[in-house]
Structure formats: structure tokens, C-alpha cells
A and B are shown apart, each in its own frame.
Chain A
Amino acid sequence: MSTAAASLNPQSVRDVLGRKDYAIISEIIEPNTRVLDVGCGEGELLHWLAVNKDVDARGVEIVGAKVQRAIARGVSVYQGDIDQGLADYPDEAFDYVILSQTLQEVRKPLKVLKEMLRVGKRAIVAFPNFGHWSVRLAHLWSGRAPRTKLFPHDWYDSPNIHFLTIHDFESLANKEKWTVERAFYLSSDKEVHALPNLIAEVGVFLIRK
């Protein structure tokens, strides 16, 4: 997969890596920049960015087996947890710090976001939208913790410990006086332009202090 990615153009990223938010992120990131992916998994996105955009790619990941595969792929990944993992880095060490589909899993989301904006000039945050109509309906009709395509886990074995909507994130950015430089809303394979908090499955935000 990784070698296939190398030969394809950025437009096909969603087909190659199978992630729509990756497509957006790879479009946002300028070539030859310094990028840190927090919770980078096996380093697929970082590897793609290193090969296609010549970025200086680094990652943080807690799961040892994923760290091994990321390093074997050639990406410089540090094995450590996100909640403390950024403390060592100096201010503005990176042009972009990515947190993709992980914000809802960290213990202290606000602390992590602030750390991202300390070590990076900009942060790119992608998260599943708990305000999506399917989630609202599932909760309303079942009276239980919602289980949907977007949030497929039972409450007792879900990695998600914070549930946020697009509006929630926007109001936090507002409160913290972060500038939202760009925002993308995705539903299936399409970008959403109206009523994102109801229709978007995923929000991708480019923010800075």
C-alpha cells in the first residue's frame, strides 16, 4: 500500500488511504513543512506526506505494535501517550500538528489542543461529529447511548470518552480565541456546505492561536 501511495497524485489520496479526512489534511498541508501527527497509528498518513509533499514527518503513538510498523515504514515515531507526549517539544517546533479522529479519545482534550498550538504554528483537528442527525435519532428513538455507523461501539467498550459536535468545537475555539483558518465538513464522500452540525459526519479544522 505504501509504495502504491507514492506513485499516485494527491487527488487520489482518499482512494489510496481510504480516509476522507486524510484527503482534506493532505490538501491543507504545504510542501516542505514540519508535521507532527499525534496518535499517528501506523504512520500511513505521515509516510504519504513525506513521500508526496516532502514534509519532515514525525509522530507520537502509544501502541507499541503500531509504533513498530510506523518506524519500519520509515517514519520517525515516538512511543508515548498523547496526554503527556508533547511536553518535551519546544514551542513552534512544527508547522502543523495533526490530531485525526483522536480528540474524542484523549483524557484531557483542551490540554492536548493547547499543547498542539504551543508546539505547532497551526493545528489540524479532525473528529467525528456527535451532532450528526443519525446520532440524534438513535439516541431519541432508542433512549440509549447511541450506536451508529459513525459511533459503532457499545458504551462499555468504546475508545471514545468525550463526545463533541461541530458546534461544540467552534464554540471552544471562540472561547479560547483560536482562529479557525479553514473548516471542512464531510458526509460520506462529499463535502457539506449547509447545516454541517446536522449533516456532517466528520469536521476538519485548521486552527491557530
Chain B
Amino acid sequence: MIVETQIVRFDSLLLDSGATLAPIDVAYETYGELNASGSNAILILHAFSGDAHAAGVSHNDGKPGWWDNMIGPGRAFDTSQYFVICSNVLGGCKGTTGPASIDPATGKPYAMSFPVISISDMVRLQKKLVNHLGIERLLAVAGGSMGGMQVLEWAVAYPDAVACAIPIATTSRHSAQQIAFNEVGRQAIMADPDWCEGNYHDKKPPARGLSVARMVGHITYMSDDSMREKFGRRFRQQEPLPNFSSVFEVESYLRYRGSQFVDRFDANSYLYITKAMDLFDVTNSHGTLAAALERTKSRFLVISFTSDWLYPTYQSLEIVSALRGRNRDVAFCELQSNYGHDAFLVDVVEQSELIRGFLASTYREKVARAS
């Protein structure tokens, strides 16, 4: 399946901060066919560093999508049955308007003059895209990590537009620990002299800072077990030397992932998006989590993973408990995995089974019956 990212331009978007972005571009991909009644559409929401290329093989660089093991013919999100959409988030750097985009007022990149954005701004922009594609009600919204936060926001903000919601390895709001890790990443970028208060676009980017930020991120995505399995205490070279030229496998891996990230991600996007995650709280104006989730009309499938210490199961259970307290239709399962937070991306056999069955029954009960 060769796919190509498309761009749609909207006139403007009013943000939670009161600022308006105009015009605004959204990069997206679609897979499968929308049926005649428009009832088989699924919106996939990517995690922090993801993009619109969720599945298939990219027309540009031949790379598979970030959730290609979950989306495709016969997969969990079966593109022979469903029409699947994924877009790059607001503030991103993969085609959707973000801090690296050109500000029409100045003709230069927005950089740090880009307005502060929120998860609900991201969702509002996705709603514009979904409307643009002619879809009134989504069969499902699904995503892990930051994608899961957007799932919750979708279900609360647009209760009539979401038949089922699948938040995976996520939270209704960041804990102090999660904010702390994000802050280390932001400080690493801002401490890099090449960051230049964000104005690095005609110079060299803050590669060292961004790379360190990514290294910290990668540690939080793995688990003690998965790191022991993958690296142990092995060295890159045969004999360890008593000096700094000795490099553990884990060090080498993190440096590689860090440097690779610099080529594909914008440092200012890192700042804006992590801040949006930290500021997110689905409770917001509703008082309590239960009151916020009372607005929802979707079925929920909540999934967490045993070894995920970045988004631990207790955070999923808070969501589940609030939904049950309001007698909402919710299924919950904590899947066994050693892969830590990365599990939702890599350990997908059981996750696929759950989602496949859940989507099929939702389609049968909530969509087919109504039409």
C-alpha cells in the first residue's frame, strides 16, 4: 500500500489562548474507502513525535507508517472494512502548521512567536479535517500516549461525533513525574546555545539539546526489563577500556536515536507540544473527571500495559473508574508486556485482538443498527 501525505488548508483556527492562526494547514493520510453512509471512518491520533504517516509505505521515502502493524488489510484497524484517517497534530513539524511554519505576517518562521497550543486546539483542528472529509460521526477515535489524551478530548468535546473511543497507555492529565521528564527535555533544548531563543531557522539547529531531550524520552518509553534484554551491560567494543571511549550498547543506542531525531523533528515543536501535553487536563472546566466524562456518549475501550511506568495503569484506572461511576459503557484490560510505554507501538498481537473485536461489535450495535 503506497500512500502519500496530503495537505488541506483552512482559513483560520481560533485557539484556547485567544490567538488565531490563519491560514492553517493540516497534513493527513487516509487508508481504505469511506462507505456510502460515511459510517466506517476511524480517526487515528498519533503520539508526541508521530506524524500523519501511520500506515502503508510512504511515496516519498519508502518508509512504513508508525502504526503499520495495526492499520491495514486484515489488521486491527482493518482497511478493507474501515476508512482510516491520521493527521499530523497542530504545532507539529510534518506538514501541519507549527512553529517552523512561515508566519504570513512576517514572512519568517513563527519560531517562539507561535501561540501556545493545547490538546483541545489539536482536536478542534482534527474536527475541521473530519468535517472537510464529509464525516459527521466517527466510528472510532483511537490513539496511544498523547494520542490517547486527544481521544479523551474528542469524546468529551464531540460526544455525538464519536461512536467509540480507544485511549491506550494514556492519562486524563499528566502527573508531576510526567511533567518533570518533559521539562528536562525542554531545558536540554533551551540550554543549547544553538537554540538562540528559538530563532535558529537560518542557522544550525540546537542538535545537541534536542538529541539529549530525545535520549531522556527514549529511556521513559522503555522498561528496566526491556533495556536489560536489549542491551544488558554489553559494550560496543570487545574489551572495555578504563576511560570515556568505552561505550555501552545502551549509550550508543540512545546517541543514535537522539541524533536521528534531530533530522526529523523541530526543536520548537518539541517545546510547544510537550507543553500542550503537560497543560492538558480533561477535567478542566467540568470540575471533576467524572463530570467531564459524563458528557461522553461513546463506548470506551481503555488499554494499559503492565510494564509502562511512564503512563502507569493507575492512570487508565482513574479514567475507567470515572466512566463506570457514570455508568458509561467501558471495557478495560491491562495487557502483559515487557516493552514499557513502547508496548502500544510494538507489542500489538493482543492489542489487535481487543481492538478488532471491539470495533466489530461497535459497528454492529451502534452503527449498523442505527442505519
Contacts and interface: CB of A to CB of B under 8 A. Distances in A.
A127 B119 CA distance: 50
A72 interface: yes
Contact of A71 (B329, B336, B354): B354
- Per DSSP, chain A at the interface is mixed
B341 interface: no
Given A50-B365, A78-B320, A68 B331 contact: no
Contacts of B331: 71, 75-78
Given A72-B354, A72-B356, A73-B357, A79 B334 contact: yes
B327 interface: yes
Contacts of A75: 331, 361
A58 interface: yes
A56 interface: yes
A110 B332 CA distance: 26
A89 interface: yes
B333 A68 contact: yes
B301 A71 contact: yes
- Per DSSP, chain B at the interface is helix
Contacts of B241: none
Contacts of B361: 50, 73-75
Interface string A78-122: 111000000011100100000000000000000000000000000
Interface of A: 50, 56, 58, 64, 67-68, 71-80, 88-90, 93
B326 interface: yes
A75 B333 CA distance: 12
B353 A90 contact: no
Contacts of A88: 321, 324-325
Contacts of A68: 333, 335, 350, 353-354
Contact of A64 (B321, B334, B353, B365): B334
B358 interface: yes
B299 interface: yes
A58 B329 CA distance: 8
Contacts of B333: 64, 67-68, 71, 77, 79
B176 interface: no
A106 B362 CA distance: 32
B112 interface: no
B330 A90 contact: no
Interface residues of B, number: 27
B364 A74 contact: yes
Contact of B357 (A56, A58, A74, A78): A74
B321 A71 contact: no
A197 B329 CA distance: 39
A50 B364 CA distance: 11
B360 interface: yes
A23 B334 CA distance: 32
A56 B329 contact: yes
Given A67-B332, A78-B320, 19 more contacts: A50-B361, A56-B329, A58-B329, A64-B334, A64-B335, A64-B336, A67-B333, A68-B333, A68-B353, A71-B333, A72-B356, A73-B357, A75-B331, A76-B299, A76-B331, A78-B331, A88-B321, A89-B327, A90-B325
B332 A72 contact: no
A58 B299 CA distance: 11
B110 to A, nearest CB: 43
Interface string B279-316: 00000000000000000000101000000000000000
Contacts of A93: 327
Given A89-B324, A90-B325, A79 B332 contact: yes
B325 A78 contact: no
A50 to B, nearest CB: 7
B356 A90 contact: no
A89 B327 CA distance: 6
Contacts of A50: 361, 365
Given A76-B329, A89-B325, A90-B325, A71 B334 contact: no
Given A64-B333, A78-B320, A79-B333, A72 B353 contact: yes
Give the interface centre of B301, B324, B354 by most chain A CB atoms within 10 Å. B324
A147 to B, nearest CB: 34
A74 B325 contact: no
A80 B332 CA distance: 9
Closest 3 CB pairs of A and B: A74-B361, A72-B357, A88-B324
